[in-house]
């Protein structure tokens, strides 16, 4: 039932009109839902990405010979993102003549949206990247630092969804490197940056919810209905954002102002799900609305039926007045009845009829105009009794049951076509005792099991976990993503296997064969794969002149790369070199920093040196408490110097409470290791 009041005579014309109205309304609603349920609107929309290059900073002059830098980066990003199953578009497809390949910084989201519409594309994201290169100098050595920064824009809302950056440091081009060699050097770096940025973007996009962008037109609604419908859309759990684009000037229609609005609506619902929920809401509110959806434009049009009951009311009033005139003038006037009196009576009769009709309209104008009233549900039983008084309670119950089953059938067909966890949940929430309860519950369980299996696979993030998911869920919703994850893991596995083989060969030559030149070759291969252990070992080889001429600058370079990856021993070596100016300019602040990093990882020498710097106060403010803390850490690892110095702090009460007993214990521990100064300190303390 549509929940409206029909105040017309209970004759055949009224019943035929009412039945025709309901039939047309139901037919239009069914057609709208069928159109919304076409397969083109099922499922989540894919990420359609256009790649743009931002040239906001000038590159160094050394790169003037490489005009295709951004072209190479764009190609690399296209390859890696396409392999991750995203649809990639270029600016050429959009016909952006003012956006050259090397500089699209002047293109804003609005220009992009217009270009996308003109080109007839369904692009929803834009990846803007910026390439930067800096040459750094360290001890007369040139090192290039490259960075590739990216930011993702939502074209529909104009919002920035995320931003990220990848960097890489490489040695300068060798002086005897020819043009082909230079191109290979640069292309290798660009390939690495593109691959890294593409991998980061792929992970971030997988985590983003699939947001759909719609244009929603509400036509011929009252102000109350407009606000009520807008509030419902914003109250949905899947609502992301909505913007009022245009509000048309209200038009007076009898006692109402009829208005229309255009919204931009962002939701996590597919078009079919959103259309189904809108139809159900409008049906509950008793509003007769025609819903249409244009797939190519993402446009929902909700057209409120005009005032059909008011039109019929006016027609009825006119017919009634004509009948009054006809009946009144059908008799010939009596001789004794004056014409003026007859006309006066007729005038009063017409006035009374108009007053009566106006009163009826005034009392029930909400129902004539189709407005939503808070107590419309209370009017519904009265409407039914007036419309169908001839039906018995049993007949009405049967009719309601038939209508309920039809609605149940439609909702189940819609849910099964959409075939998502959310669609089955919506059906079960709407029909907790529906005739498809068993099927919906079973389908929901399948979707929940699929979701649970996928979350388990993501949590473990291993080849076995993703393979188990594919085996357990042959028709799962996440199979494509599982295959992508497997591909990436296989690539990582191949890299790991290669790295393991290189390290095994390097260690065999270094420790067993003592063939340092051969070991250096394999360590360099592993270091280029960013392995911290290999980088540290290269630092050792260059520092100790093992199989090669000693080179403190190269040793420091490799120590620094390993230290930046968290290698504790490399952090200690780098700190020592900063303090002693070995292969690098002396920098006590850097020395203190790297000693701190290594000490926190348990390197006893770093703990001792850090404590010594705090105790002496040459590099930083003297702090005996910090000195005592780090001497204690080193002493616990058996460092004799730390035991002796900590004993002296306890003897003098510096940074700790004076405790001669503890001082003697520490002196004895150091003396037992042959520490002569500790032996003297113990002797003096005993005397």
Q: What is the pLDDT of residues 313-344, one digit of tens each?
A: 565 666 676 676 666 665 545 544 555 555 66
- pLDDT at residue 220 is higher than 70: yes
247 - beta bridge partners?
A: 261
Where residue 31 falls among pLDDT bands split at 50, 70, 90?
very low
State what percent of residues in the chain have pLDDT above 70.
Answer: 70
Residue 107 has pLDDT above 50, yes or no: yes
End-to-end CA distance of the chain: 107
> Does 36 have pLDDT greater than 70?
no
- 497 has a pLDDT exceeding 80: yes
Tell me the pLDDT tens digit for each residue of 122-169. 787 888 888 877 766 555 566 777 778 888 877 766 666 667 677 777
Q: Please state the rounded mean pLDDT for residues 300-322.
A: 65
Residue from 311, 287, 389 nearest 3 by CA: 287
**Tally of CB atoms within 10 A around 376:** 19
Cβ burial, residue 567 (10 Å; 0-12/13-18/19+): buried
Per residue in 254-288, pLDDT (tens digit) is 556 778 888 877 777 777 788 888 888 888 887 77
**Max CA pair span of the chain:** 156
What is the enclosing helix (H) or strand (E) of 242? strand 239-247
pLDDT at 374 > cutoff 50: no
- Per-residue pLDDT, averaged over 590-600, amounts to 95
Q: In the prediction, which pLDDT does 674 show?
A: 95
DSSP-assigned letter for residue 372: -
What integer pLDDT is reported at residue 120 of this predicted model? Answer: 75
Residue 384 has what pLDDT? Answer: 42
Q: In this predicted model, which residue has the larger pLDDT, 474 or 681? A: 681
According to DSSP, residue 331 is labeled S
For residue 63, is pLDDT > 50? yes
Output the average pLDDT for the chain: 76
The pairing of strands 256-267 and 289-294 is: unpaired
Task: State the pTM of this model.
Answer: 0.40
| Number of helical H runs and strand E runs in the chain | 26, 11
| 592, 623 Cβ separation under 8 angstroms | no
Q: Which domains does the chain show, CATH number per domain?
A: 12-43+210-307 (3.30.70), 48-207 (3.40.50.10610), 309-369 (no CATH), 394-477 (no CATH), 602-687 (1.25.40.10)
Residues 504, 526 contacting (CB under 8 angstroms): no
What's the CA gap between 372 and 630, in Å, rounded?
Answer: 76
- Strand residues in 172-247 grouped as ranges (E): 212-222, 239-247
| Top-confidence residue, 602 or 244 | 602
Count of alpha carbons within 13 angstroms of residue 137, beta-carbon side: 2
Q: Give the pLDDT band of residue 378 (cuts 50, 70, 90).
A: very low
Is 70 exceeded by the pLDDT of residue 303?
yes
């Amino acid at each position: 039932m549509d929940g409206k009041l029909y105040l017309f005579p209970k004759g055949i014309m009224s019943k035929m009109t009412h039945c025709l109205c309901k039939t047309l309304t139901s037919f239009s609603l069914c057609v709208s839902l069928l159109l919304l349920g076409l397969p083109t609107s099922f499922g989540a929309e894919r990420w359609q990405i256009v790649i743009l290059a931002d040239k906001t900073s000038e590159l160094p002059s050394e790169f003037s010979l490489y005009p295709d830098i951004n072209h190479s980066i764009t190609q690399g990003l296209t390859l890696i993102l396409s392999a991750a199953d995203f649809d990639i578009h270029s600016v050429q497809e959009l016909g952006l003549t003012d956006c050259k390949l090397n500089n699209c910084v002047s293109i804003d989201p609005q220009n992009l949206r217009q270009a996308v519409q003109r080109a007839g594309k369904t692009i929803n994201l834009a990846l803007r990247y910026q390439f930067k290169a800096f040459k750094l100098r360290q001890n007369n050595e040139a090192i290039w630092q490259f960075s590739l920064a990216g930011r993702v824009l939502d074209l529909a809302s104009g919002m920035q969804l995320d931003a990220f950056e990848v960097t890489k440091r490489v040695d300068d081009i060798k002086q005897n490197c020819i043009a082909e060699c230079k191109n290979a050097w640069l292309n290798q770096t660009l390939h690495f940056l593109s691959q890294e940025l593409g991998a980061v973007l792929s992970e971030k996009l997988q985590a983003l919810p699939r947001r759909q962008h719609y244009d929603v037109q509400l036509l011929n609604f009252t102000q109350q209905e407009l606000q009520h419908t807008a509030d419902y859309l914003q109250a949905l759990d899947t609502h992301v954002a909505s913007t009022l684009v245009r509000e048309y000037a209200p038009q007076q229609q009898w006692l109402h102002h009829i208005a229309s609005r255009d919204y931009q609506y962002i939701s996590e619902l597919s078009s079919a799900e959103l259309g189904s929920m809108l139809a159900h809401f409008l049906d509950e509110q008793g509003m007769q609305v025609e819903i249409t959806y244009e797939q190519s434009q993402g446009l929902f049009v909700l057209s409120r039926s005009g005032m059909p009951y008011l039109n019929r009311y006016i027609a009825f009033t006119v017919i009634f007045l004509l009948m009054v005139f006809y009946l009144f003038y059908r008799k010939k006037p009596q001789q004794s009845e004056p014409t003026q009196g007859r006309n006066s009576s007729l005038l009063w009769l017409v006035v009374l009829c108009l007053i009566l009709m106006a009163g009826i309209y005034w009392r029930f104008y909400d129902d004539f105009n189709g407005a939503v009233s808070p107590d419309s549900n209370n009017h519904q039983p009265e409407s039914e009794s007036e419309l169908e008084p001839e039906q018995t309670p049993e007949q009405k119950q049967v009719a309601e049951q038939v209508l309920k089953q039809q609605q149940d059938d439609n909702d189940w067909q819609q849910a099964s076509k959409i075939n998502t966890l959310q669609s089955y949940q919506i059906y079960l929430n709407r029909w907790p005792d529906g005739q498809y309860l068993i099927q919906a519950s079973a389908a929901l369980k399948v979707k929940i099991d699929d979701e649970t299996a996928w979350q388990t696979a993501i949590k473990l993030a291993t080849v076995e976990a993703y393979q188990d998911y594919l085996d357990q869920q042959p028709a799962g919703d996440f199979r494509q993503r599982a295959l992508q994850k497997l591909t990436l893991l296989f690539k990582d596995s191949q890299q790991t296997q290669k790295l393991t083989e290189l390290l095994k060969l390097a260690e065999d030559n270094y420790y067993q064969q003592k063939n340092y030149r051969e070991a250096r070759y394999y360590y360099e291969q592993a270091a280029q794969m960013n392995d911290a252990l290999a980088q540290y070992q290269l630092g050792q080889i260059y520092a100790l002149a093992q199989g090669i001429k000693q080179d403190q600058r190269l040793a420091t370079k490799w120590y620094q790369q390993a230290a930046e990856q968290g290698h504790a021993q490399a952090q200690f070596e780098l700190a020592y070199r900063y303090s002693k100016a070995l292969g690098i300019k002396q920098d006590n602040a850097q020395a203190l920093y790297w000693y701190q990093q290594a000490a926190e990882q348990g390197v006893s020498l770093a703990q001792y040196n850090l404590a010594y710097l705090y105790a002496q106060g040459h590099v930083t403010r003297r702090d005996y408490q910090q000195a005592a803390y780090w001497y204690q850490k080193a002493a616990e690892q058996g460092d004799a110097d730390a035991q002796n110095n900590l004993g002296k702090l306890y003897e003098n009460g510096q940074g700790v409470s004076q405790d001669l007993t503890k001082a003697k214990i520490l002196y004895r521990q150091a003396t037992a290791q042959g520490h002569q100064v500790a032996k003297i300190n113990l002797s003096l303390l005993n005397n």
